[in-house]
Amino acid sequence: MTLKRLTLSCASIAIFAFSVSARNIVFPPIAGVNGLIGSDTQAALSSDNAPLHIGLKFQGLTTFANLPYVFCLSEEQNIESYDIAFLGAPFDTGVTGRPGARFGPRGIRQGSHRMSPEAGYNIYAGSNAFLDWAKIVDCGDVPLTVLDNTYALKQLDRAHKVVSGRTANSTEKSSVPRIITLGGDHTTTLSALRSTFDNWDKVSVIHFDSHLDTWRPDVLGGGISDYAGVNHGTFLHIAHEEGLIHNNSVHAGVRAPLFSRRDLKNDVRCGFDIITAREIDRIGVHGIIERLKSRVEGSKVYITVDIDVLDPAYAPATGTAEVGGWSTRELLSILDGLEGLDIIGADVVEVSPAYDNAGETTVLAAAEVAHSLMTLMVQKPVKAST
């Protein structure tokens, strides 16, 4: 045997010996795991008894915050009851800018995939809103046609009525379920307000948005047709015309350009006050909270969050981005500061995941906004007035 051959065979014996011993590595017992102090937790584990209850954030189908799915749109009356329902509205054919918000509901759910009731303790609220009195579920998305806006909005109107038309789970705290809609373009809020009117009568709207969304249909829609006039920039004008909202509503974070001063006059006529984006530099987060609370005092409140209220640095994935907006932290602090209001419905809209980045900046922000809205609803139970 040559020296070279001898060296090679020695090397292969060494590799063989190493791989055999690698299979036999036994880790020392870990003290304190699942209360098994002092026992051999490693030896007991096999594929027959490997625990399947660990890793709840990555199992099952994607619901908002890994909440249970309930088929709330069922024609059956006897389904599992709930107090707060997440409901997707995949509709984006009422936009004037970039489309794509029909994928918003699944984007927001993806952004929420690390949230779960089991690990839902909120350090700011000092509680776990998932495990409080309210039974919270995800109802999935409403089936909406993508080819006819009028038809789709009628579908969404009906879905809101069905989902909020059931008896709540915790009847000592609530009477009918409250809905948090995951949009969808902003037109979808019109269906939600039609539904809240049935259960809670007129409401005041706190509208987080860079735009007014009270444009007259003949201004934003061009007077072409009634069909064109119902869109994501006119729905608050229509809600006012339909008598769904009080005249003490308010926009927050406004900064987008207008057609003319007449837009502002029409905005006042529709019942809105304006807090611009830059006012936060003058009065701060607490000043914004105080103005919002005093504006809607004494009313039932609907909160709608157009994700474009955030600066595009924090929410690039939206249809009509406007620079100079609030940060995610500022918006979350303002939302959390609204604790105590009678919030009867809410939504996060205009999330258009195709324009998001690899870090999922927008859907993460939208999911946390939805979590804040849910927390506000848990903190203040509201019974329907009818």
Q: Under 8 Å CB-to-CB from 70, ≥6 apart: which residues?
A: 79, 80, 82, 85, 137, 138, 139
State which of residues 109, 160, 178, 186 lies at the interface with Mn ion (CB under 5 A): 186
CB closer to Mn ion out of 83 and 311: 311
Calpha distance 347→360 (Å, rounded): 20
Interface region with Mn ion, contact rule CB under 5 A, candidates 9-17, 131-139, 298-306, 311-319: 298-306
CA–CA dist 213, 207 (Å, integer): 9
Query: How many chain residues interact with Mn ion (CB under 5 A)?
Result: 4
Does 185 appear as a known binding residue? no
Close Cβ partners of 260 (under 8 Å, ≥ 6 residues apart): none
Q: Which range of residues in 147-155, 207-215, 244-252, 372-380 is near Mn ion by CB under 5 A?
A: 207-215
Q: 106 vs 45, 57, 356, CA distance in Å?
A: 37, 16, 13
CB 307 within 8 A of CB 369: yes
Sheet holding 178-183, edge to edge: 136-141, 84-89, 178-183, 342-349, 300-306, 204-208, 249-254, 272-276
CB of 219 to Mn ion, least distance (A): 15
Which amino acid belongs to residue 59? Answer: Q
**Candidates 80-88, 247-255, 277-285, 299-307; binding stretch for Mn ion (CB under 5 A):** 299-307
286 is annotated as contributing to ligand binding: no
Stretch that binds Mn ion, among 69-77, 202-210, 291-299, 336-344 (CB under 5 A): 202-210
CB of 233 to Mn ion, least distance (A): 7
306 annotated as belonging to a binding site for a ligand = yes
Nearest approach, Cβ of residue 198 and Mn ion (Å): 23
Show the site string, 208-247: x = touches Mn ion by CB under 5 A, - = not: -x---x----------------------------------
Q: What are 30-38's contacts with CB under 8 Å, separation 24+?
A: none
From 267, 306, 322, 330, residue interacting with Mn ion (rule: CB under 5 A): 306
Which residues would be at the binding site for Mn ion (CB under 5 A)? 186, 209, 213, 306
